[in-house]
């Protein structure tokens, strides 16, 4: 081991006796260091991590001999080596994962392993997740213990708790939550904030430096996700994604974020072979990287089972990754599981109400599941937020008719033809409603005639002409 690594091993422990608060999307975790019991139900805290009466959460604070920059790969590698040695002194169980990971609050080393259950029961284990990070000359070690049998029901929540952990000196507990530390970091607003941040980093980074590669990769990834959220980027946006990814790969080809950037660029250029190659390169760096698995879920669009599995892996680390819930829902829908698809889409929309793509898919799934009142409500919300989108008015009219909301269906078909007078299907459906539901043959005749003008070769044209002749129109 290097002399620098040996110096790091000589860190000394200084656990502080103080209270700590973690805030995250949908929960607040507060505990004093000497008493791990969380706030009682009377405190009104919406989220509780404690599943047993033993200590479930611990924070340790150490003083370092010198600052450690975990953004620097050399320092991070040495730091990881030291943490593994120190862990080996305390536990004998092998690690299930180890990685240097970027969190909303910064960079940390994550170690996950199993130990005998703290309850003392035989043949039971606890999963331990340690997140170790540094701020200047202070080291923070945040540790959680979860009974193995409880992992399925608390896994997503545990991911939120780990992600929400923030060293006090880096992000005071009383501070207002930022976009990056809440469930909006993967939303359109959150991605736009990242794009601005990465562009500032690019402007200030030294030429050909690791910092420049990191910023270029981050820009390409953020632009790639933005284009996905908005259902496809413009040619100029796709070109910018490609340029940023190329710069990142040229400077730091072996970095995982460079390869993820390369994968996003390939995705938006429909270069699926190139995308898969980039994903495999990223997985060689970290086989458990959640963002890479999300990209793999996109790539596996042709295989619902594999796509759904990859999306689940991403969601284990980032439960608030709304696009992963969306991709999972697409796979569920293709597999014919409308219940799972609906649940995933509802979760995506709860996390990011601005995610129009997920809202639209949810409306379609509700309609396919024949929950027409819910489908109508979903399309109604879409048509109100995008009043100029003729497709939302048309789909709302269809769902409203099936839900028995005839007046609304007529009104929405009328809105559709005002926006697009050449929409022949809307004229035909409107005529049918006038005739069958309102007993208004004159209005039906007007709409039928407009339908024939627009689509005289339709397979329904002859029956419409026959009705018009027989009724004197």
3-state secondary structure 201-260: HHHHCCCCCHHHHHHHHHHHHHHHHHHHHCCCCCHHHHHHHHHHHHHHHHHCCCCHHHHH
pTM of the model: 0.58
**pLDDT for 456 beyond 80:** yes
CA distance 473 to 469: 6
Instruction: Provide the phi-psi class of 131: left if phi over 0, else alpha when psi is between -120 and 50, else beta.
Output: beta
- C-alpha distances (whole Å) from 111 to each of 94, 97, 190 are 10, 6, 27
Instruction: Provide the token pair at 181.
Output: 């530390």
CA distance 443 to 410: 12
Q: How confident is the model at residue 153 (pLDDT cuts 50, 70, 90)?
A: low
CATH no., domain 385-470: 1.25.40.10
Cα Dmax for the chain: 100
**pLDDT for 93 beyond 80:** no
Helix and strand counts by DSSP (H, E) for the chain? 19, 8
Q: What is the pLDDT of residue 19?
A: 39
Q: What is the pLDDT of residue 175?
A: 31
Average pLDDT, rounded, for the chain: 79
Q: How confident is the model at residue 185 (pLDDT cuts 50, 70, 90)?
A: low
Out of 3.40.1000, 3.30.1280, 1.25.40, 3.40.50, the CATH code matching 3-172 is 3.40.1000
Structural domain boundaries in the chain: 3-172, 184-287, 385-470
Are the C-beta atoms of 234 and 226 separated by less than 8 Å? no
**pLDDT for 7-23, tens place per residue?**
222 222 233 333 344 44
Q: What is the pLDDT of residue 34?
A: 38
Q: What is the pLDDT of residue 6?
A: 27
- Out of 28-42, 86-100, 249-263, 407-421, least confident range: 28-42
CA distance 98 to 113: 9
Q: What is the pLDDT of residue 288?
A: 86
Where is pLDDT greater, at 42 or 379? 379
CA distance 101 to 133: 10
Q: How confident is the model at residue 354 (pLDDT cuts 50, 70, 90)?
A: confident
Which residues partner with 28 through β-bridges? 23
Return the closest-CA partner of residue 365 out of 330, 405, 393, 392.
330
**pLDDT for 209-231, tens place per residue?**
888 999 999 999 999 999 888 87
Contacting residues for 174 by C-beta, under 8 A, at least 6 apart: none
CA atoms within 13 A on the CB side of 136: 4
**pLDDT for 98-126, tens place per residue?**
887 777 677 888 888 888 877 677 778 88
3-172 matches 184-287 in fold: no
Return the closest-CA partner of residue 79 out of 99, 61, 94, 102.
99
Q: What is the pLDDT of residue 66?
A: 66
Q: What is the pLDDT of residue 154?
A: 66
Pairing of strands 106-116, 125-135: antiparallel
Give me the CATH topology for the region 184-287: 1.25.40
């Amino acid at each position: 081991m290097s002399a620098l690594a040996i110096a790091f091993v000589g860190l000394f422990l200084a656990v502080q006796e103080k209270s700590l608060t973690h805030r995250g999307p949908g929960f607040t975790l507060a505990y004093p260091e000497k008493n791990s019991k969380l706030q009682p139900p009377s405190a009104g805290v919406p989220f509780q991590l404690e599943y047993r009466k033993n200590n479930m959460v611990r924070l340790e604070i150490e003083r370092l001999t010198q600052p450690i920059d975990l953004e620097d790969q050399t320092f991070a590698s040495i730091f990881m080596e030291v943490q593994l040695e120190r862990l080996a002194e305390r536990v004998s169980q092998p690690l299930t994962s180890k990685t240097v990971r970027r969190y909303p609050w910064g960079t940390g080393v994550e170690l996950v392993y199993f130990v005998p259950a703290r309850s003392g029961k035989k043949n039971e284990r606890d999963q331990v997740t340690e997140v170790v990070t540094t701020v200047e000359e202070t080291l923070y070690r945040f540790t959680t213990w979860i009974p193995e049998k409880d992992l399925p029901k608390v896994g997503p929540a545990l991911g939120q708790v780990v992600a929400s952990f923030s060293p006090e000196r880096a992000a005071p507990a009383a501070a207002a939550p930022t976009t990056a530390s809440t469930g909006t970091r993967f939303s359109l607003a959150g991605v736009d904030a990242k794009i601005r941040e990465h562009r500032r980093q690019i402007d200030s980074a030294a030429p050909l430096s690791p910092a420049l590669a990191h910023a270029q990769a981050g820009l390409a990834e953020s632009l790639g996700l933005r284009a996905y959220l908005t259902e496809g980027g413009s040619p100029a946006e796709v070109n910018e994604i490609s340029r940023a990814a190329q710069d990142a790969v040229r400077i730091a080809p072996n970095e995982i974020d460079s390869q993820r950037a390369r994968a996003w660029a390939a995705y938006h250029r429909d270069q699926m072979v190139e995308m898969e190659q980039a994903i495999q390169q990223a997985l060689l760096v970290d086989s458990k990287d959640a963002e890479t698995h999300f990209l793999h879920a996109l790539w596996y669009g042709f295989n619902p089972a594999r796509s759904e599995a990859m999306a689940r892996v991403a969601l284990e680390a980032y439960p608030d990754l709304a696009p992963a819930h969306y991709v999972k829902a697409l796979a569920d829908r293709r597999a014919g599981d409308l219940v799972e698809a609906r649940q995933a889409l509802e979760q995506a929309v709860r996390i990011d109400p601005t995610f129009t793509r997920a809202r639209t898919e949810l409306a379609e799934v509700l309609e396919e599941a024949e929950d027409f009142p819910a489908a109508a409500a979903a399309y109604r919300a879409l048509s109100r937020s995008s009043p100029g989108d003729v497709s939302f008015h048309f789909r709302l009219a269809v769902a409203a008719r099936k839900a028995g909301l005839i007046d609304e269906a007529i009104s929405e078909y009328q809105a559709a033809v005002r926006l697009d007078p050449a929409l022949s299907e809307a004229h035909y459906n409107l005529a049918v409603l006038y005739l069958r539901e309102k007993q208004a043959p004159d209005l039906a005749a007007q709409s039928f005639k407009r339908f024939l003008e627009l689509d005289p070769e339709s397979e329904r044209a002859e029956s419409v002409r026959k009705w018009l002749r027989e009724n004197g129109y």
